[in-house]
Amino acid sequence: MADVLSQSQIDALLNSLIKHDDAAENAVADEIAAQEDGKKVKEYDFRSPKLFTREHIKLLFGIYENYARIVSSQITGLLQTYTLVELLEVEEQKFYEFSNALPDSVLLSVIDFPVRGDDDEENFMFLDVAKEIGFCTVDKLLGGTGKPLDEDRDYTEIELTLLENFMRGVVGIMKNVWFDYVEVTPRLTKLETNARILQGISPDDNVVIVAMSITVNETQGRMNLCIPASTLEVVFKMRAAQSKKNARKENIEAEMQRRRNILGNIYNSDLEMRGVLGSVLIPAREVVHLEIGDVIRLDKTEDSMVELTVGESVWFKGEIGLSNRRLAIAIRECLKGGKDS
């Protein structure tokens, strides 16, 4: 005989079915909401944390967006043809991700990047230019139309010499875009055509990749700048120190201006100055009975100087006399608040 479900079992079964239907509806609703929002979620690897904040990346984006505009004009003038350089993205990653993406034969500029005020001479970066752009540039410099080669081959010594002079001008422009932040003097050290012999940085070290698109006539390629984390840390440290120094200077200037404003207000205020011939202590009853013609003997001699007081302090001493038929005092000593100057 088949088992008969109790009422509690039937209720539990119905509740589970209802919960399952609600969960399915919620999942569908979440999926639809996610599609409507269009938000992209990027996985974060906690085993290799990022070294630079979003503000740092945003700063680099602004710097090299300006660099892209300037270098477009620079290359257009050198090649005498239309050139457009656009910044694509700025992203932090591991160095091996950058090096593994490079082909065996490349045009890689090794750039020395000294920062003023830093004693470390190991600041450097790499600039990779696509082969299509390299051969197109050589063809244009030699008087051609600027068409890239169809075959894949290595650069000759003459082509590398031409490209070295060309890249030296491209690298030198970086000094201008960094000028408002830190003072740097980038210079081209050498050109590498083999990506597998790069040294000076570990594969697991963090780097920031500045990806740019370059178009010369109808030829389009990539130009990627690889900046090691050690170089950027020096740059950001010097920038923070410079910003702190500028802020301190601004605070000093603001404090000096505040003092000047206070002194200006004081200089324009009215102060009461009194000339004191002398003083004497007498009983109150004698003061009450004073009459015209009475003589009061002071505590000063006949040839003593008159004291000039500001508030309760004696600032000056002088001699009493006349000026334009008015009583006057000629200042002979400056005491400045009761002390000898």
* CATH topology classification for 272-341: Surface presentation of antigens (SPOA) (2.30.330)
Cross-strand pairs, 87: 212
- Give the strands of the sheet with 124-129, arranged side by side: 83-94, 206-216, 219-228, 124-129, 105-112, 187-194
Residue 152 has pLDDT above 90, yes or no: no
CB-CB contact of 93 with 209 (8 Å): yes
Question: What's the pLDDT band for 209 if we cut at 50, 70, 90?
Answer: very high
Q: What is the pLDDT of residue 45?
A: 60
Q: What is the pLDDT of residue 9?
A: 67
Least confident of 90-94, 174-178, 236-240: 236-240
Q: What is the pLDDT of residue 160?
A: 92
Name the residue among 137, 98, 95 with its Cα closest to residue 221: 137
Q: Rounded to an integer, what is the distance from CA 308 to the centroid of its chain?
A: 56
Least confident of 30-34, 84-88, 217-221, 258-262: 30-34
> pLDDT, tens digit, for every residue of 94-125?
988 888 888 878 889 999 998 887 766 678 89
Q: What residue segments make up the domains of the chain, in order of their start? A: 54-243, 272-341
pTM given for the model: 0.60
Distances (CA, A) of 30 to 34, 42, 72, 147: 6, 18, 45, 51
Least confident of 142-151, 298-307, 317-326: 142-151
Distances (CA, A) of 238 to 51, 227, 229, 259, 271: 17, 16, 14, 31, 51
Domain covering 54-243: architecture: 3-Layer(aba) Sandwich (3.40)
Residue 71 has pLDDT above 90, yes or no: yes
Exposed / middle / buried, residue 57 (Cβ in 10 Å: 0-12, 13-18, 19+): middle
Name the residue among 108, 92, 82, 95 with its Cα closest to residue 215: 82
SS3 214: strand
Q: Which residue has tokens 């206070």?
A: 262
Amino acid identity at 339: K
Question: What's the pLDDT band for 2 if we cut at 50, 70, 90?
Answer: very low
> pLDDT, tens digit, for every residue of 287-302?
888 889 888 888 888 7
Mean pLDDT estimate for the chain:
82
Exposed / middle / buried, residue 242 (Cβ in 10 Å: 0-12, 13-18, 19+): middle
Name the residue among 107, 190, 95, 83 with its Cα closest to residue 156: 107
Least confident of 77-91, 138-152, 172-186, 204-218: 138-152
CB-CB contact of 306 with 318 (8 Å): yes
Question: What's the pLDDT band for 1 if we cut at 50, 70, 90?
Answer: very low
Q: Residue range 190-213: average pLDDT? A: 86
